[in-house]
Amino acid sequence: EQVQQRLISSGINAEYGQHYYITNNLRNRMALLKLTKVLVSDKIASDCLKAFEGKGVEVTYKPGLSKTELMDIISEYNGIVVRSATKLTADVIKAAVNLEIIGRAGTGVDNIDQNAASEAGIVVMNTPGGNTNSAAEHTCALLLAMCRNLPNRHNELMNGKWNRINGIELEGKTIGIVGLGRIGMIVAHRMQAFGMKTVGYDPFVPAKVAAEKGVEFMELTDMWPVCDFITIHVPLLASTKHMINSEVLSKCKPGVRIVNCARGGIIDEDALLESLNNGKVACAALDVFEKEPPAFDSALIQHPNLIATPHLGASTAEAQIRVAREIAEQFLALRDAKSSFGCLNAPLMRDVCGDPAKAALAQNLGKLLHALNPKAESISVKADSKTIAPFGVLIGYLNAKGVSANFVNIKKVAADNSLSFEYSECSDGITVSSGDVSLTGKPNENAGLLTAVNNKAVEIALPGDDVENSEKVMEQLISHL
């Protein structure tokens, strides 16, 4: 009350006295996430649970929850780990009022509403490397099986038929790889060992990089007519849904063979069935389907020139252990501001992990600025960072205003609240100003040091979670105004 009265007597935004205290939600600079309780809602190797528990995180293991059961308990947790069975839809995420991070122990995240998570400020993370080798090897196994149609030959032999039908060889054939990420590149390397010509397309991989791996870069329209084999390694997005359709298949070489170990829905299954029936596609191998499990008696599943497996791409003992261990390690690394590896919707986190002390200072300065000028619409930020400093300041300012914002959703939240910043480069700390108030600070081992108020030199240590010192800080601050 004394601090508030002194502010009012100084004529500083007196009508907003209730905003003049530093809020207590500034996290320690080395703890970007609370991460005290994690729910694991799908079956996963015990390595995941052990990794969390070894770092003091309480873990609840409840695979097989219904949507209603999940919505009833998800508010109790800071983090959740899923595989592919749990569906984190917008309404489930809305119920997760304390959730900070979602982890997919695997690669595909089409069972997670990333837009809803981002708006809620929840990090979405996957383990891009955990099942890479497993998926690549399964792709290679299906490619080889297609060449001799091994499932049919096996079934015939089991039924007493000795049917020595000729197959084809891989050597000298051209394989088109759609998606030149980790898995696609491993497949390319393995198929090169079989003497195949590898061509590929990826909108994010330059032709020069592909060439360094022995892959000739081609646009898709150029690739379809020249490939003997096509293998898919892209995520399921609006832009990739039914990428392989009737029009594309009509452009392919007669007798093409197609493998999909990526995601169901990338291939139009009706179009594929039609092409299998008319011989345009000699054989197809699918590990994933538009609906899983598919209808077992469907014409596609029963087609003699289809090889089907029940989504086994990541189903090796080694991959299960890797993704389980890696998702826990990635959660903990982000919590401790060591790494943002695997984050899919939080590009700013990479910079925050690179300089967490600066992020803590920026947020603290934003909170202090709000205490002195709660009606700012634009904030001037001078710093040596175009990301951590200005966005950190906006986060601190909005948090002090009672608005939930963090480095995941700050751009949208700031726009929704008509708050912007003007950035200029400065190598000496961070300076924020709005109206008649200017604050300068420098990072330290805690939450920053205030070094100037309205260009007057000061030395005020800023607390992190030490909220009982907030009145002391404000008293010191006011004395220099």
**Which residues does the annotation mark as catalytic?**
263, 292, 311
Residue 150 exposure: Cα atoms within 13 Å on the Cβ side: 9
Tell me which DSSP letter residue 480 carries. T
Alpha helices in 355-420 (DSSP H): 356-372, 388-400, 410-416
With H, G, I as helix, E, B as strand and everything else as coil, classify residue 370.
Answer: helix
Instruction: Return the half-sphere exposure (C-beta side, CA atoms, 13 A cut-off) of residue 331.
Output: 35
- Our CA angle for 7, 8, 12, nearest 5°, is 70
Contact 260/236 with Cβ under 8 angstroms? Answer: no
Q: What is the dihedral of CA 465, 469, 475, 478, to 10 degrees?
A: -10
Instruction: Give CA–CA dist 260/286, Å, rounded.
Output: 5
CB-CB contact of 36 with 386 (8 Å): no
Q: Is 24 helix (H, G, I), strand (E, B) or coil?
A: coil
For 59, 167, 311, the CA distances from 65, given in Å and listed in that order, are 15, 46, 21
Q: Is 380 helix (H, G, I), strand (E, B) or coil?
A: strand
